[in-house]
Amino acid sequence: MIQVIDEYKLNLYGICVGCRHCKTRNDASRYCIAHPKKLPPEIWNAEGAECPYFEERE
């Protein structure tokens, strides 16, 4: 059995970094208020991914 420790990679070019829905917790981990259950890693990790909830930060 394989256990995934961290499916979220450090991606400085992902779409989430520039979205107003992306927030940071006290422990420096990130979460998205538009994805209440779980931020999909395929959106966070992929450069050039699209998200239907993306709203650019002001």
Residue 1 has pLDDT above 70, yes or no: no
Q: What is the pTM (predicted TM-score) of this model?
A: 0.69
Residue 52: predicted pLDDT? 92
Residue 10 has pLDDT above 80, yes or no: no
12-43 pLDDT per residue, tens: 778 888 899 998 888 777 889 999 888 888 88
Percent composition of the chain: helix, strand, coil (DSSP 3-state, to 5): 15, 15, 65
